[in-house]
Amino acid sequence: MTAAPQTPTKQSPSEVPTFPLMRRLFAYRPRLFVLNVLAWSGFHALPAFFSYFVSRIFAHLGELQTAGAAGAAGAPGSIRQVAITAAWIAVVGFAVTRFARFGVFYFAVRAWFRLWFTLDALLRRNLLGWLLLSRGSRRLPDTPAEAVSRFRDDVDDVAAYTEVWVDAGGFLIYSVVAITLMWRVDPTITLVVCAPLLLVVLFVQRLSPQIRSYRRRMRQATARVTDFLGETFGAVSAVKLSAHEGQMVAHLARLGETRKAAALKDVLLTELIKGVNTNMINLAVGAVLLLGANLILRGRMNVGDFVLFFALLPRLTGSMGYFGDMIARHRRTGVSFERMQRLLQDAPMPEVVAHHELYLNGQLPELPTRAGATAFETLEVRGLSAVHDSGRGLIEASFRLTRGEFVVVTGRIGSGKSTLLRALLGLLPHSGGEVVWNGEQVTDLASFFVPPRSAYTAQLPQLFSDTLEENVLMGQSAAGEALERALRLAVMQQDLSELPQGLSTQVGARGVKLSGGQVQRAAVARMLAQNADLLVFDDVSSALDAETERQLWLGLSTELPNATCLVVSHRRAALLRADRIIVLDEGHVADQGRLGELLARSPQMRALWDGEEVAG
Amino acid sequence: MSAPAAPLPSSTPALKVLGTYLLPMWPRVLLLAALLIGSTLLTLTLPLLIARFVDTSTAALTAGGEGLGALGTLTRLSLMYIGVALIVQLLSAGATYLGAVVGWSATNRLRTDLTAHLLGLDMKYHKERTPGEMIERIDGDVTALSNFFSQFAVRVFGAALLLTGSVVMFFRENAWLGAGVLAFVALTLLGMNRVRRRGIEPTRLEREGSAKLFGFIEERLSGLDDVRSLGGGAYTLRKFLGVQGSFFRQLMTAGVERTAVWQFSMLMFTFGYVGVIGAAVGLYAAGTITVGTALLLYQYMSMVEEPIDQLTQQLQDVQKAGASLLRVGEILSLTSQLPSGTRLLPAGALSLDFDDVSFAYEGEDDPSARVLSQLTFQLAAGRTLGLLGRTGSGKSTLTRLVSRLYDPTSGALRLGGVSTLEADLTSLRSRVAVVTQDVQLFQASVRDNLTFFDPGISDERVRSALTEVGLLDWAEELPEGLGTSLPAGSLSAGEAQLLAFARVMLRDPGLIILDEPSSRLDPATEARLTAAMNRLLSGRSAIVIAHRLDTVARADDILVLGAGRVLEYGAREALAADTGSHYSRLLRAGQLGGSDEGEIDALEDDIREVLA
């Protein structure tokens, strides 16, 4: 095995290629994306046209007033009539553009939801897909609860950033039209009014590193709260039994305070930016008044022109502010990508936006049949090492397994028994050594050691909220007989008859509705239902009583004589049955051989067998 | 304020919660209101300044030659406009910040209240739910409420003020127009409220779907090793796509239903603007108003639009919050099936009485569903009971009744002479210590793991507890000592079990339940624990469950359970001496349990010879 242990790829924020990633994401549903851009462009650009019509209305009214007053005596009624008719025509233009916008919105909003939620779904599918299916060992960098916030908040952030791009075209058209119209009235005023808007954009850009760090702190504080809640309710019975609910709640309150402080900073800054953006319009209007006073008195500007500014400015400020916000959103999206990448660790960056079918209509495809594999003959482990951060772990373990053997790994607490199994199966990254299966070196342990080659039952196996049957089969279309056998070998027959709904029993979250022993047996049945050659048990017997355990080993040896078992145990029932025992001590293989030999020559073995403390 | 009150009739429960959590902060709420009122009043003067500006300038133009003389007035008006606009900006920023402070304080309290309430519910409730779902209930729902709390005040209240002010301004200009606008506003808000209701149910379904989806993810991620090592990746992904697909469809429905409000308001305002502008042109043509006033009307219309737009947007949040509130309310109205009594348990070792106790997890009256059936026995204070029986025979369930995670279906159970139903629950739980099969550890410091985040326990006590279980050396070697965070999975199951022992050492229980305490310890480590265990049990009552006979060798009494019934109960020595007893048969069969498994017995004998 050559693959280096998986170290998280250090990717500094500036390296996150947000643009290419987003481009790839949009390309997932290109037509839908373009449709959105078109619809929303129309939606955002139309106000420029109805502002124009409003200004025409007031221009005509203004003409009338000035004309009426100036030539009170000579103004013919027809001129007055023409101006009023022109004003009414502008009113019609105004009405038509407004109604058109209403119609566009109807379609735009539907298209947008489809796009947004589809991209959300794609990101989540890719995150989970990589964690489930990728090569190499997968360890979550944080608690599952915190990982869930990657799936929820960060995914939302990224998909919502799409909104920025969908809206961009419309805002751009609006800005260009608006600035052109204003320019025609007076270039100086237009420049004076637009300059501060550009300043806002620059201001936001200056603030964006700050925004990011506030946002990150806020997210971390939030994650600590959700983590704590997850752990509290994951251990709810322990918390209740210890009568420490009050202290847990007090701790939650402390975490909440920290989060509040972080959130307020985030809110303050975000609101500051928003406030500057929106209130900038009033200042701009003030500027138009100030500068326009002179022009209007000299007759170079009329009421209609004023109204044009007033009507266009709010949305123009909005658009400019939007471009400023776009920069901030872009940075935040970078943070979200970064955090998702931290979850995926060694995945190539584009993985999170890779294109996969989502089956959102509910028509799921058939499960692909498992690839076959040649029957197991031998397994050779040479110098396998895997060291935890604590410095403990497994150091250069070597051993052999051949078909049909029953091999027990034993040793004291912390001697590396579980680490040995987990490193072999690729559940932990290993720092050295090689694994040879049927004479061929295995390059990726994690994707290699799966059914039909091997199956594994953890020390604390996890079941999932579903029926017992679903849990055991895990999608295997095991015929009734195979399922029957798996349950029989796992000594589950009696449990099944006691459970009111039998195989259809909902096991509850993490199997909480079953007893500890039932969870273990269900997990063993689940492993056996996979029809694997090599069965790896990590101390499953600990929740089983002696009789149950005896039945398990006996059943395996009589019904599955060809199955190879690698078992962590310190129970005599297992040790007595072992073809070979591997004794671990402080991460090293201290000795291996048959029980009789080991008892004769290995002090560690004798200590374990007798339950006596080894001297020292 | 009659108009803005219109959209909120269905929000009565929301207002009640608002009251509960906002009233204690009344000074801040008052200040917030003052800021909002100030900024609204000032905002309303802005169009007046513009109208004055336009009329002054038109008048000056009409007057002809001396027009430039009005420049001073116009400049003053412009500067006033800018000044007022700046003050408005300051006030509204202050209001937003204050709103957030109030919102976060209120929702933080709601979160802790909810957590405390949920922790108080019995295990029957928790068995049905994943931790991910709990997170969604407490944090997801409450965060939706947080927007509601903080934004409701600022946005909705502010918008309502502005709306009222604008309508008043219309009345000032023209009573008929004012009446028209008022009718328009009322119609729009009423209609919006009606349309809005359509969104509530889909929104509730959406949040349920969201809880389900994230619950699924959380559970699968915490069982990632199981899934991957069993080649269940494709299967799990397929299931996920199914859950996600139905969530997607819920989102689409809820999204479209929710935006119907927006759509409606857009249609109404198309009519509204066209109406006001038409009226302005008509009135002007009739010579009733000036251009400045016509412009004023247009501007006030946008002051009607803005708050209604705000209200529409906020109504979406109110909708989300409404759905969340509904469920927060649902949760808060749940009561534990195990109401606490009031009697305190006596100090010292506790005696234990089972009086004809039966229990079933489901189906109260169905004898076939019983896990425990008519148990009667007494354990005297200070004695240790060894509990034996096959898995599934009801041993763990028996202990769950003692620690009152469940109540007996029938019969009575007394601790120190106090019925568990009458005992104060906190008193009971703090006097009955349990070491379960699974040790639950938190991703927190060693200290917090031992004390359950109780800062009131001194480091000294924590150290001495660690010393007793032989983990002190281990703890001292950690980089930050007791403050070191326990990374998930860094402890072996055996060490975790030792930590669980240390937890019990920190308390002074009168009854200790050891549910297979040594199940994951290798014999060598178990030996380390035995001494500490003996210290712990001395002077206390205890129930020790074990599959290994040597674990119960120190017990005073033995109870053998079979299919939820007492097969045998008595003093250990008496049972051991009685050759017909289950216990003595078990003793003879040795820890292998299978008396008929001659082959292995023979092998063991061989080995004993080798050793000898």
Q: Please write the tens of the pLDDT for every residue from B379-396.
A: 888 888 888 877 667 888
Helix, strand or coil for residue A13?
Answer: helix
- How many residues are recorded in chain A? 616
Is-contact B110 B142, C-beta < 8 A? yes
Contacts of B320 in chain A (CB under 8 A): none
Rounded to a whole number of angstroms, the distance from the CA of B5 to the nearest CA of chain A is: 26
CA dihedral defined by A578, A582, A585, A588, rounded to 10 degrees? -170
Predicted confidence (pLDDT) per residue in B11-48, tens digit: 455 566 667 877 888 898 889 889 989 988 998 998 89
A597 pLDDT more than 60? yes
What is the Cα Rg of chain B in Å? 36
Helix, strand or coil for residue A615?
Answer: coil
The reported pLDDT for the residue numbered B367 is: 66
Strands B541-545 and B370-379 turn out to be unpaired
Q: Do B54 and A523 touch (CB under 8 A)?
A: no
Strands A378-387 and A454-457 turn out to be unpaired
Q: Does A15 touch chain B (CB under 8 A)?
A: no
Helix, strand or coil for residue A585?
Answer: strand
What is the Cα Rg of chain A in Å? 35
Nearest by Cα to B53 from A296, A568, A327: A296
State the best of B218, B429, B437 to mutate against chain A, taking most chain A CBs within 10 Å: B218
CA dihedral defined by B55, A180, A206, A333, rounded to 10 degrees? 120
Rounded to a whole number of angstroms, the distance from the CA of A109 to the nearest CA of chain B is: 8
CA distance A82 to B26: 60
Q: Does A599 touch chain B (CB under 8 A)?
A: yes
Provide the token pair at A185. 């009235």
Is-contact B437 B547, C-beta < 8 A? no
Predicted confidence (pLDDT) per residue in A41-75, tens digit: 999 999 999 899 999 999 888 877 766 554 444 45
Predicted confidence (pLDDT) per residue in A179-227, tens digit: 999 999 999 999 988 887 777 777 776 777 788 788 888 888 888 888 8
Kindly list the structural domains of chain B, giving each domain's residue range(s) and its CATH number in brackets, ordered by start.
12-333 (1.20.1560.10), 352-611 (3.40.50.300)
CA distance A96 to B39: 35
CA distance B256 to A116: 13
Q: Beta strands of A438-563 (E only): which ranges?
A: 440-441, 454-457, 534-538
The reported pLDDT for the residue numbered B609 is: 41
The reported pLDDT for the residue numbered B64 is: 60
Rounded to a whole number of angstroms, the distance from the CA of B443 to the nearest CA of chain A is: 8
Mean pLDDT of A522-541: 90
CA dihedral defined by B28, B33, B34, B35, rounded to 10 degrees? 90
Contacts of B281 in chain A (CB under 8 A): 57, 61, 84, 87-88, 91
Helix, strand or coil for residue A550?
Answer: helix
Predicted confidence (pLDDT) per residue in A123-170, tens digit: 999 999 999 998 888 888 888 888 998 999 899 889 889 999 999 999
CA distance B222 to B132: 11
- pLDDT band of residue A615 (cuts 50, 70, 90) is very low
Predicted confidence (pLDDT) per residue in A354-373, tens digit: 999 999 988 898 888 888 88
Q: CA B518: distance to chain centroid?
A: 34
pTM above 0.90, yes or no: no
Q: Tell me whether the omega of the peptide bond preceding residue A461 falls within 30 degrees of 0, making it cis.
A: no
A601 exposure class (CB count in 10 Å sphere: 0-12, 13-18, 19+): exposed
The reported pLDDT for the residue numbered A575 is: 87
For residue A199, what are the contacts with CB-CB under 8 A and spacing of at least 6?
none
CATH of region A25-69+77-218+269-353: 1.20.1560.10
CA distance A496 to A471: 14
Helix, strand or coil for residue A405?
Answer: coil
Is-contact B454 B416, C-beta < 8 A? no
Q: Does A71 touch chain B (CB under 8 A)?
A: no
Contacts of B243 in chain A (CB under 8 A): none
Predicted confidence (pLDDT) per residue in B64-100, tens digit: 655 567 888 889 999 999 899 889 888 888 888 888 8
Rounded to a whole number of angstroms, the distance from the CA of A312 to the nearest CA of chain B is: 13
Mean pLDDT rounded to a whole number for chain B: 80
Taking CA–CA distances from A278, the nearest residue in chain B reads B89
Q: Regarding predicted confidence, which is higher, B156 or A112? A: A112
Nearest to B131 among A230, A462, A550 (CB): A230
- pLDDT band of residue B9 (cuts 50, 70, 90) is very low
The three state secondary structure string of B176-188 is: HHHHHHHHHHHHH
Rounded to a whole number of angstroms, the distance from the CA of B1 to the nearest CA of chain A is: 26
The reported pLDDT for the residue numbered A141 is: 85
Nearest to B429 among A113, A240, A285 (CB): A240
Q: Regarding predicted confidence, which is higher, A298 or B181? A: B181
Helices (H), A242-302: 245-297
**Domain segments of chain A: what residues?**
25-69+77-218+269-353, 378-610
ipTM summary value: 0.86
Q: Does A494 touch chain B (CB under 8 A)?
A: yes
Q: Do B96 and A271 touch (CB under 8 A)?
A: yes
Mean pLDDT of B427-440: 81
Nearest to A243 among B111, B363, B430 (CB): B430
The reported pLDDT for the residue numbered A76 is: 59
Which helix or strand (DSSP H or E) is residue A110 part of? Answer: helix A77-133
Q: Beta strands of A356-426 (E only): which ranges?
A: 378-387, 393-402, 406-411
Chain A, window 116-155: residues with a beta carbon less than 8 angstroms from a chain B beta carbon: 117-118, 121, 124-125, 128-129, 131-133, 138, 140, 143-145, 147-148, 151-152
Mean pLDDT of B173-179: 89
CA distance A309 to A177: 12
The reported pLDDT for the residue numbered A287 is: 86
Predicted confidence (pLDDT) per residue in B256-292, tens digit: 998 888 889 889 999 999 999 999 999 888 888 888 8
CA dihedral defined by A159, A165, A167, A171, rounded to 10 degrees? 150
CA distance A176 to A171: 9
A479 pLDDT more than 70? no
Phi (first) and psi of residue A437, to 5 degrees: -115, 125
Taking CA–CA distances from A547, the nearest residue in chain B reads B593
Nearest to B440 among A235, A359, A608 (CB): A235
Nearest to B81 among A252, A285, A572 (CB): A285
Q: CA A75: distance to chain centroid?
A: 73
Residue type, A483: L
The answer regarding whether domain A378-610 maps to CATH 3.40.50.460 reads: no
Nearest to A460 among B233, B438, B607 (CB): B438
Is-contact A157 A336, C-beta < 8 A? yes
Nearest to B440 among A234, A247, A518 (CB): A234
**CA dist list (Å): B201 to B17, B311, B550:** 20, 20, 60
Nearest to B237 among A133, A303, A307 (CB): A133
Contacts of A296 in chain B (CB under 8 A): 57, 61, 74
Contacts of A69 in chain B (CB under 8 A): 62
